[in-house]
Amino acid sequence: MGWRTIALVMLWGMVGQALALDAPGGRVILEVGGRISVTNVSDEAHFDRAMLEALPQHVVVTGNPWIDGQSRFEGPLLSDVLAAVEAEGDELRVAAIKDYETLMPVSDAHEHGVILAMRRDGERMRIRDKGPLFVVYPFDDQPELKTNIYFSRSVWQVARIDVN
């Protein structure tokens, strides 16, 4: 085996490690399935809170029909979560704990800066507070999003995302 072959094998091994997703150490709060390439539990990607907090965190200050006034929402970009699992589809089926689900184009995540909020006004979002994950669009920064179609995609108590 020549030095070039050894270098390629080592590089391939490093790439494979970089693409690996650690297993969750805590309670799983998000499952991602469907057309994804990076998994950690069978053919799915499971995330606990620490894994989602390890992604770059972003802030959206906005109001929505379910709160009074504005709030400061914090969490990872949905596009970063999709990148972490190497999502390959065009559509997301976002499902909540309580049987609500909706379809969302992947393009929303990339074009609108949608976040998976884990905190509202500095506090962790609990189930009773629309948590632990809430799909938040920047409604106040992009007023054209203030329509029923985008409101219907603002799922709270998110538990699962399937990439189609």
Q: What pLDDT does residue 98 have?
A: 87
CA dist 75 and 78 (Å) reads: 9
What's the CATH number where 23 sits?
3.90.420.10
Per-residue pLDDT, 12: 40
Q: What is the mean pLDDT of residues 123-136?
A: 96
| Residues spanned by the domain of 115 | 3-163
pLDDT digits over 65-84, tens only? Answer: 999 999 999 999 999 999 99
* Bond before 24 cis per omega within 30 degrees: no
Q: Does position 9 have pLDDT exceeding 60, yes or no? A: no
Q: What is the pLDDT of residues 88-104, one digit of tens each?
A: 999 999 999 988 999 99
> Would the pLDDT of 15 be above 50?
no
- In tens, the pLDDT along 33-67 reads 999 999 999 999 999 999 999 999 999 999 999 99
Cα-flanking dihedrals φ and ψ of residue 4, to 5°? -70, -40
Taking CA atoms, 56 is separated from 42, 80, 85, 151, in Å, by: 26, 8, 15, 25
Residue 19: predicted pLDDT: 52
For residues 140-151, give the mean pLDDT. Answer: 97
- Residue 77's SS3 state is strand
Q: Is the pTM of this model over 0.85?
A: yes
Nearest to 114 by CA among 133, 97, 95: 133
User: Would you say 134 and 116 are in contact if contact means Cβ atoms under 8 Å apart?
Assistant: yes
User: How many domains does the structure of the chain reveal?
Assistant: 1
The order of strands in the sheet holding 158-163 is 45-48, 28-34, 158-163, 91-96, 101-105
